[in-house]
Each structure stands twice: as structure tokens, then as C-alpha cells.
Amino acid sequence: EDQVTQSPEALRLQEGESSSLNCSYTVSGLRGLFWYRQDPGKGPEFLFTLYSAGEEKEKERLKATLTKKESFLHITAPKPEDSATYLCAVQDWAGRRALTFGSGTRLQVQP
């Protein structure tokens, strides 16, 4: 059974204070690891897909990295508009098409 654990549950940063969010996963055969951003009361918005250990992807102030056991979402010099819940999810090759999600990290960036 696939499992995803995200930490911390909540993170409060000052504007410009860089940090990282962690996503630890257990999966039989990784097809893809996904990062989403979710604003309150809205659906998740796709950010990145990572496929193999060592892969990195960037988008503005966000950078996602992947190892065989975990993924990190690095936030560089965050702004208040980066405040959201960040969700990590995995998909395996075992035939299950759906994603297994972690509980998310709630990020608050204060001006």
C-alpha cells in the first residue's frame, strides 16, 4: 500500500525567509510524484511531476527535488502570495491510476 507523509503540518515564514517542505513516500514502483498547491476553498493546482531520483524542477520561487525515499519543495525568498497548502502525491505502476496524497503542509508567509 502506497503511503505519503508530509512535514511539517504547518509552517510560518517571514517574507524572504527560505525553507523546505518534506514529502516522504513508500510506493511499490514510482510512476510519478506530484506537487500541488491548494488555496482555501479551492481545488488543488498542479505544480510539478517528478519521475526519478535526482530529478529537479523549478517554477518561480519553487524548486522540487526527488530522492528514492522523499521529495523536497524548496521555497526561496517566499512572498505572502505563496501562502497556501502544499500537497504531495504519488502514483505507482501497479495499475492503480489514482493518486495517494499526503495530508499537506499549510504554509503562511508573513509580510
Partner 1 sequence: DVKVTQSSRYLVKRTGEKVFLECVQDMDHENMFWYRQDPGLGLRLIYFSYDVKMKEKGDIPEGYSVSREKKERFSLILESASTNQTSMYLCASSLGQGDTDTQYFGPGTRLTVL
Backbone dihedral angles phi then psi of residue 51, each to the nearest 5 degrees: -115, -30
Our finding on whether 91 is near partner 1 (CB under 8 A) is yes
Task: Work out the end-to-end distance of the chain between its first and last CA atoms, rounded to an integer number of angstroms.
Answer: 41
Total length of the chain: 111
49-88 binders of partner 1 (CB under 8 A): 49, 51, 87
Q: Residue 65: how many CB atoms within 10 A of its CB?
A: 18
- Give the residue with the Cβ less far from partner 1, 78 or 104: 104
- Give the residue with the Cβ less far from partner 1, 60 or 98: 98
Which chain residues interact with partner 1 by CB under 8 A?
31-32, 34, 36, 41-46, 49, 51, 87, 89, 91, 97-99, 101-104
